[in-house]
Amino acid sequence: MRIVKNGDVHVSAPVGLSRKKVGEFIEEHRDWILQASKRMVARQEQRTKFFNQLPMETRIQREEAIRRLKVLVEPMIEQHAKEMGVCPNAISYKPTISRWGQCNIKNRNINISIYVLLLPEWCVEHVVVHELCHLLEPSHNSRFYTLMDKYFPRWREARKETRRICRLKDGIK
Ligand SMILES: [Zn+2]
């Protein structure tokens, strides 16, 4: 049994289990379901509220956000890429709500979510270094985190703070 994002409850049962048994099971867990469902709806509302802080419905709003983001992020990329000796191919900015950043190892393209504008600057820097680090090491293995220790020693703290601010499902990739 699991609670999905809109608060609905999905129950899977083995083939052959009678509807009556399934009904009984749901009835027994009624309170738990109600509580979990309420929590899920509240969390979704919180997320929506968080992302709505940066309105991006109109083209002008999006362009303005990207302009602000470039001013913030481009110097960070330049500085860290130089220090790390990496060269990303292209940087794109998309209104991604499922992750803060993403690095395509094959074409060396990096995407930064426009919503990082809702994070403190040092957390944005963490996202930038994390993605650049993938150009040196694709996986989240011990080598990756050794590189993070070297190039952004506060990464643990930044990750914690980012998660505290908004719990994203996938977080940083
Ligand atoms: Zn990653």
141 C-alpha vs ligand 1 centroid, how far in Å?
10
173 C-alpha vs ligand 1 centroid, how far in Å?
4
Q: What is the pLDDT of residues 48-79, one digit of tens each?
A: 888 999 999 999 999 999 999 999 999 999 99
| Alpha-carbon span 50 to 42, nearest angstrom | 12
| Alpha-carbon span 82 to 85, nearest angstrom | 5
Residues 6 or more apart whose CB falls under 8 angstroms from that of 55 comprise 61
DSSP secondary structure letter of residue 25: H
44 C-alpha vs ligand 1 centroid, how far in Å?
24
52 C-alpha vs ligand 1 centroid, how far in Å?
25
- Per residue, the 3-state secondary structure of 89-129, as one string, reads CEEEEECCCCECEEEECCCCEEEEEHHHHHCCHHHHHHHHH
18 C-alpha vs ligand 1 centroid, how far in Å?
45
Q: What is the mean pLDDT of the chain?
A: 91
166 C-alpha vs ligand 1 centroid, how far in Å?
17
| Alpha-carbon span 110 to 88, nearest angstrom | 7
98 C-alpha vs ligand 1 centroid, how far in Å?
13
DSSP 132-148: HHTTT-SS-SHHHHHHH
Tokens standing for residue 125: 């820097």
| Alpha-carbon span 18 to 166, nearest angstrom | 41
139 C-alpha vs ligand 1 centroid, how far in Å?
7
100 C-alpha vs ligand 1 centroid, how far in Å?
10
Predicted confidence band of residue 16 (pLDDT cuts 50, 70, 90): confident
Predicted confidence band of residue 1 (pLDDT cuts 50, 70, 90): confident
DSSP secondary structure letter of residue 170: S
156 C-alpha vs ligand 1 centroid, how far in Å?
13
Give the sign of the dihedral formed by CA 81, CA 139, CA 95, CA 45. Answer: negative
pTM of the shown model: 0.80
Closest C-alpha to 113, from 168, 57, 37 = 168
